[in-house]
Amino acid sequence: MVHDRTTRETAAGSETAVTAVEELFVSLAGSNPVMQGLLGGIVIAGMNMLGALLILVWRDPSKRSLDTLLGFAAGVMLAASFTSLILPGIEAAGGSPIPVLVGFVIGVVVLDQADLWIPHVHILVTGKTRADAPETDKKMASVVLFIVAITIHNMPEGLAVGVGFGSGDLGTAVPLMLAIGIQNIPEGLAVSIAAVNAGLRNTTYATFAGIRAGLVEIPLAVFGAWAIQYAAALLPYAMGFAAGAMLFVISDEIVPETHSNGHERVATFGTMVGVVVMLYLDVTLG
């Protein structure tokens, strides 16, 4: 009996916290899903900016620390793909997994094609192949490639937040927004560090590079919320698309990067912590 009462009290406390968070969000953005998507996009872009600003006070983080943080980001994205996108998408489709799977495959294909395009960006920057370019041009091309990669990486995150708010389920959208915002912090820092390591020693420029990579999330969050309002039937497809794109980024970009410097163990632990954090957010706020 005591255990049951404690459980009920804990559940009631969590429900109160959820209601308070949702009420705060509605008080700021109103009940319009598009405005909620806009605010959600601003929040996640703002947390990306926070990460980029860290370069001003944490100028030389070790590669081990960065791999751990990026592993954490991967864990958050991994759990969020299922708890806030795939499973709600199946529910939105009336229990059928087919629309989500179709969207998932499309998301993977789109990101794969974008990944094939990215290696050619250095030609636009230097006018030469990477092998023939001077060392300074190679460094600049590396920065541009990394910024483009993170920008494309951020696109499904912004879309996912917008789709979440467009669905009208704040219990799913708010935890997803917070999770993506949290994992944006190490990503913003990573872009700024890449700019500095490539020889761009002006930390102001490096900070701007990190901020700029996250700005794409705002219009995509708005678009995601708006599109769902006028094509509600696309919701499970859109959720599947966002999940497929995010999981592709984890496997194709983040995991190989964090495991390429001999820090696989700490990066893996970072991933596990990220999964736990997202699951906690989903249970307490979902």
> pLDDT tier at 88 (50, 70, 90 boundaries)?
confident
Give per-residue pLDDT as tens, 191-210.
Answer: 787 777 655 566 777 788 78
Identify the pLDDT of residue 5: 46
CB 44 within 8 A of CB 224: no
108-154 confidence digits (pLDDT tens): 998 888 777 765 444 444 444 545 545 555 555 555 655 666 676 67
Residue with more model confidence, 231 or 99: 99
Predicted local confidence at residue 14, as pLDDT: 45
When comparing pLDDT for 208 and 13, which is higher? 208
User: How confident is residue 179, by pLDDT bands cut at 50, 70 and 90?
Assistant: confident
CA triplet 52, 256, 244: central angle to 5 degrees? 80
> Looking at per-residue confidence, does 143 or 167 come out higher?
167
Question: Residue 203: exposed, middle, or buried by beta-carbon count in 10 A (0-12, 13-18, 19+)?
Answer: middle
Question: In this structure, are residues 75 and 275 in contact, taking their beta carbons and an 8 Å threshold?
Answer: yes
The pLDDT of residue 198? 59
